[in-house]
Amino acid sequence: MKTFHETITDPEVVRVRGLSKTYGNRVAVDGLDLDVSAGEVLGLIGANGAGKTTTVECIQGLRRPDAGTVRVLGLDPVRDADRVRRLVGSQLQSSALPDRLRVSEAIELFSTRSARDADGLVERFGLEDKLRSSFGSMSGGEQQRVFLVLALLNRPRLVILDELTQGLDPAARREVWSSVAQLRDAGTTVLLVTHELDEAEVLCDRIVAVRSGRVLDAGTPAELVARHAGVATTRFGIRDGDTDGLVRALRSVSGVHDVGLDPGGQVAVRGDRSSIAHVGAWLVSRGAIPADLRVDVPDLEAALLTLLDGREEPAPTASDLTGALR
Ligand SMILES: Nc1ncnc2c1ncn2[C@@H]1O[C@H](COP(=O)(O)OP(=O)(O)OP(=O)(O)O)[C@@H](O)[C@H]1O
Ligand SMILES: [Mg+2]
């Protein structure tokens, strides 16, 4: 757990401005800005090839940016590589350990702290029985838990997890999710790379969506839902009576955008999320409580799909704006 003093002196654990990285003629990251605040789980989300891994590799000092600045707890990860390495724990997308290495040996190799720290982590991730197992003999989920232990061994100020649950079965995914939730609850700052939308929904306090190495949008799940998830739909059947009148009257209920009849004869009311409560209250006030009332609420998954599927353009970068002014 961070002390109060640490929290106020380092509100920003990661600060990235205008990061660009090109491999040959392939632009991987193109003027990206990113902040990770102390104690939050920030999700970096985007399709394959969006530039996520390149970004976190620059944050860890494993790659040198072509342009832009990267600061981790105020340090430059290229110039202050040793200090940054001591402050950051990471599980990289391409992590691997030699098959014959035992878990206990890996821990010894990576640990710069007391054995008691390691024992606590081994217990927390349920690996007590696996200490003598060789890495190659373990299942994917067990290996991921070993990577988590290694990432946390030296009490890092920042933990970077790049596609932590890739290839895991649903039960193992949930197990790893609960490990990340424990980290969050303990106040550890986490930068989580994923393209699993449900994972982001469960774990992230804030999300940065990227495409083609640029930020499409950033915000809390609630902010992204409000901006990109579209409308809520409330549906219900009506027995008889003045359908046209009902449809007309519902159009003036607060938050409602439009009202129509589904092919099955159900009334479909589309509007802001607030319209759900207003439509419900309106129906109750008229003594009409439909037994088949159903609500489709836009969620984060819907928001991210809209955002990532290509209909929305990335925000212009500083270099675009400079170019436009020339
Ligand atoms: N070492 C490299 N050499 C050449 N091109 C690379 C290299 N690493 C990444 N790239 C390219 O840079 C782009 C961004 O790759 P990156 O690995 O950062 O994406 P990503 O968002 O992590 O994707 P994924 O979800 O598939 O892991 C891709 O087009 C990729 O092909
Ligand atoms: Mg990647």
- Can you give the pLDDT at residue 8? 44
Give the mean pLDDT of 254-281.
92
pLDDT tier for residue 93 given thresholds of 50, 70 and 90 = low
Centre of ligand 2 from the C-alpha of residue 316, in Å: 23
Residue with the bigger pLDDT between 81 and 94: it is 81
The residues near 189 (Cβ < 8 Å, ≥ 6 apart) are 13, 36, 37, 38, 39, 40, 41, 157, 158, 159
**Which ligand is located closest to the Cα atom of residue 195?**
1
pLDDT tier for residue 322 given thresholds of 50, 70 and 90 = very low
The residues near 10 (Cβ < 8 Å, ≥ 6 apart) are 38, 73, 74, 157
- Can you give the pLDDT at residue 198? 86
- Can you give the pLDDT at residue 257? 95
Other beta carbons less than 10 A from residue 82's beta carbon = 8
Tens digit of each residue's pLDDT (9 = 90 or more) over 174-183: 888 888 888 8
Query: Mapping DSSP to helix (H, G, I), strand (E, B) and coil, where does residue 160 land?
Result: strand
Q: What's the predicted TM-score (pTM) here? A: 0.80
Residue 5 has pLDDT above 50, yes or no: no
Give the mean pLDDT of 102-127.
84
The residues near 107 (Cβ < 8 Å, ≥ 6 apart) are 118, 122, 131, 149, 150, 153
Atom number in ligand 1 closest to CA 53: 22
Give the mean pLDDT of 279-285.
93
Tens digit of each residue's pLDDT (9 = 90 or more) over 200-226: 988 999 999 999 999 999 999 989 988
Taking a C-beta distance cutoff of 8 angstroms, is the pair 150, 110 a contact? yes
**Beta strands 41-45 and 294-296: pairing type?**
unpaired
The average confidence (pLDDT) of the chain is 86
Token pair, residue 131, equals 């200490």
Centre of ligand 2 from the C-alpha of residue 52, in Å: 5
Q: Where are the alpha helices (DSSP H) in the chain?
A: 4-9, 52-59, 81-87, 103-110, 115-124, 140-152, 170-185, 197-203, 221-228, 243-251, 274-285, 300-308, 318-325
- Can you give the pLDDT at residue 311? 56
Taking a C-beta distance cutoff of 8 angstroms, is the pair 151, 125 a contact? no
Token pair, residue 178, equals 């609960």
Centre of ligand 2 from the C-alpha of residue 163, in Å: 7
- Can you give the pLDDT at residue 58? 96
Count helices and strands (H / E) in the chain.
13, 13
**Which ligand is located closest to the Cα atom of residue 52?**
1
Nearest CA to ligand 1 atom 16: 51
Nearest CA to ligand 1 atom 27: 48
- Can you give the pLDDT at residue 51? 96
Nearest CA to ligand 1 atom 18: 51
Domains identified in the chain and CATH numbers: 4-226 (3.40.50.300), 231-297 (3.30.70.100)
CA dist., res. 72 & res. 157, Å (int): 10
Q: Is 296 exposed, middle or buried (0-12, 13-18, 19+ CB in 10 A)?
A: middle
Pocket of ligand 1 (CB under 6 A): 23, 26, 28, 46, 48-54, 93, 195
Tens digit of each residue's pLDDT (9 = 90 or more) over 30-43: 999 999 999 999 99
Half-sphere exposure of 320 (CA within 13 A, CB side): 8
**Which ligand is located closest to the Cα atom of residue 59?**
1
Nearest CA to ligand 1 atom 28: 49
pLDDT tier for residue 19 given thresholds of 50, 70 and 90 = very high
pLDDT tier for residue 325 given thresholds of 50, 70 and 90 = very low
**Beta strands 88-91 and 158-162: pairing type?**
parallel
Atom number in ligand 1 closest to CA 47: 25
Q: For the chain, give the percent of residues with pLDDT over 90.
A: 50
pLDDT tier for residue 10 given thresholds of 50, 70 and 90 = low
Which one, of 257, 252, 261, lies nearest residue 270 by Cα? 257
